[in-house]
Structures are given as C-alpha cells and as structure tokens.
C-alpha cells in the first residue's frame, strides 16, 4: 500500500494554517535542512525535498483545495471525478472503498491504491473515453529554490544542480531578480504511461550585500568621504560590483549629496546594458585633531 504523505505534518502546521503561518514554517525548516547547511547529510537532503514539495502544494490555493479533498492523488482529481461520473456518480468499486474525505486526517482508503486499482496500474494513469481506455499522464511539476550571491548574476552563470536525484546544468541569467521564478520544461517528475515529464520551477534568492539596496538593476549605497575631501575637493576610490573606480568629489560637497555612477549597477535582465550605482556621500569626521588642525578650525569658527 502506498504511503500517504501528510504535507501539513511535513511542515509542522495545522490544517487551518494560513499563508503567513505556512511561509514561516517553510522558511524555518528550509534554513535547517538546506543542502548548503548540511551538504553531506542525505537525510537532510530528503527532508529538504519533502519540505519544498509540501510548501509548493499548500501555498497554492487551488492545489491545496484539491489536496485537502483527494490527499496524495490531488493531481488526478479530474480523472477521479470523471471515473465517478462514468460509474453513475457512485462508488465504482461497489462499496469496497470509502472516499468521502480522503485528505489529511480524513477517513477511507489511500487514494494511491484507489487509482492503482481503478486504472489497472500506476496511479498516474489517466481515464480515457467512454470505453474506459487509458492514456498517458503528465508528470508532476517540481518547485525549488536556488540561493545565489549578487556576484553570480553579473553575467550569465552556469551551475550544476541536483534536483530530484538528477543533475541539471542550469543557467543563472544575468540580472535575475530576487524571488524571480524560471521554468525549465520537461525537467520535473517523469510522466506515467509514457506521458511527458513535468516542469521544474526554480525560484532565485539573490543575496544582496547589506550595504547595498537594490531597485531593479539600480543599486544604492552610502559612501563615506573624509572631511577634507568634502571641503576642498579631490578624488576617492569607490568599490562597485564590477571593480573599483575613481570618483571626483567637488569642492564644498554637501553632506548627503547623491551622485550617480552610470552603468555601474547590475545587468538589466534580458535587456542588455546595466543599471546605475547611486552613492550618498557622507562626511567621515577625523577621530582626533592635531594642534594645528584645532587652531585652523577655531579660526574658521571665528572664536
């Protein structure tokens, strides 16, 4: 008998959990079992996959509704309903099964067994025309997250990922946004009965350094400048995502002045070119003053 997977139990939440509670539980578990945290722990890897699968279903209102009604075989809900209609709306097995609730915590048979018996094979078989023929079923989609550094999106970057036990060569597009999801056709779970494989949806999590603020392809950052350069003008060396550059500072620059370094931001996703880097110049006061400096500042203050 196929084992029923309780997605609510997997995430450690009640069946009544709202979206906020689901997300909180998922993030907590994902941080604990992420492969980067325990790269050699196979058990953690399996738990991480289970957590992703559970959240992918329960975070989608339509999928969650089907799962609550049909349990593990929520993806085959339409075939199930079609079969019931062709059997006159009743139990197609003459009372052998009870499937009134089916979902997590409900009574009745495991739906995996229900579909196996009903279609004469794996639960993935679809119910065909009036004669009860079979046709192929598309495989389940897989949803996964990929965490990358900001430096990884400065240009197209290829990485090899292990998803669902197989290795895939994935291109991280230059300038991809944090939270953006890309679809890889046919890279999900295999289909049943010769059906096509599902798709893989990868959501990118871009770790932007704490000193930067990102808006699209533009970056914003505070840049300290020593007092004398702000007063007298000069040049400073500024770090950017693509390397250091020299920045001229005008005489008597006001504290907090914003300057733009054109094209020194992130790549524009699928557009070509780069965004800009904006620097808010702030005065860095000297930690200690010499006697001559004190005398000079005292004169300037008119004391």
pLDDT level of residue 79 (50, 70, 90 thresholds):
low
DSSP 192: B
Q: Which fold has domain 142-207?
A: HSP40/DNAj peptide-binding domain (2.60.260)
Mean pLDDT of 261-279: 95
The reply to whether CATH 1.10.287.110 applies to domain 7-135 is yes
The domain segmentation of the chain, as residue ranges, is 7-135, 142-207, 213-300
Q: Which fold has domain 213-300?
A: HSP40/DNAj peptide-binding domain (2.60.260)
Tens digit of pLDDT for each residue in 10-33? 999 999 999 899 989 988 888 888
Global pTM value: 0.53
User: What are the angstrom distances between the C-alpha of 156 and each of 153, 173, 270, 272?
Assistant: 7, 5, 10, 12
Q: What is the reported pLDDT for 277? A: 97
Percent of the chain's residues with pLDDT above 70: 75
Q: What's the whole-number average pLDDT of the chain?
A: 79
What is the residue whose two structure tokens read 């010769």?
Answer: 194
Q: What is the reported pLDDT for 1? A: 40
Same fold, 7-135 and 142-207: no
Alpha carbon distance 89, 256 (integer Å):
72
Range name among 20-24, 95-99, 176-180 with the lowest pLDDT average: 95-99
């Amino acid at each position: 008998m196929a084992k029923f997977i309780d997605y609510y139990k997997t995430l450690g939440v009640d069946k009544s959990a709202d979206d906020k509670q689901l997300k909180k539980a998922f993030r907590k578990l994902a941080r604990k079992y992420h492969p980067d945290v325990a790269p050699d722990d196979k058990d953690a890897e399996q738990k991480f996959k289970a957590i992703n699968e559970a959240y992918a279903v329960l975070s989608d209102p339509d999928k969650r509704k089907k799962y609550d009604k049909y349990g593990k075989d929520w993806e085959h809900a339409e075939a199930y309903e079609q079969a019931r209609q062709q059997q006159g709306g009743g139990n197609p097995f003459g009372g052998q099964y009870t499937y009134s609730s089916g979902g997590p915590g409900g009574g009745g048979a495991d739906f995996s067994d229900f579909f196996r018996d009903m279609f004469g094979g794996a639960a993935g078989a679809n119910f065909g025309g009036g004669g009860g023929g079979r046709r192929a079923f598309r495989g389940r989609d897989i949803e996964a997250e990929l965490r990358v550094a900001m430096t990884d999106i400065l240009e197209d970057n290829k990485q090899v990922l292990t998803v669902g036990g197989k290795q895939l060569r994935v291109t991280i597009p230059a300038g991809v946004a944090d939270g953006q999801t890309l679809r890889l056709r046919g890279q999900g779970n295999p289909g049943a009965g010769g059906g096509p494989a599902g798709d893989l949806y990868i959501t990118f999590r871009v770790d932007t350094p704490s000193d930067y603020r990102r808006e699209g392809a533009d970056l914003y950052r505070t840049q300290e400048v020593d007092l004398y350069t702000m007063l007298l003008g000069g040049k400073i060396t500024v770090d950017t995502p693509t390397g250091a550059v020299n920045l001229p500072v005008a005489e008597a620059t006001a504290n907090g002045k914003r300057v733009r370094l054109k094209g020194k931001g992130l790549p524009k996703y699928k557009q070509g070119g780069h965004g800009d880097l904006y620097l808010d110049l702030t005065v860095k006061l000297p930690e200690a003053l010499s006697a001559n400096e004190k005398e000079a500042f005292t004169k300037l203050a008119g004391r």
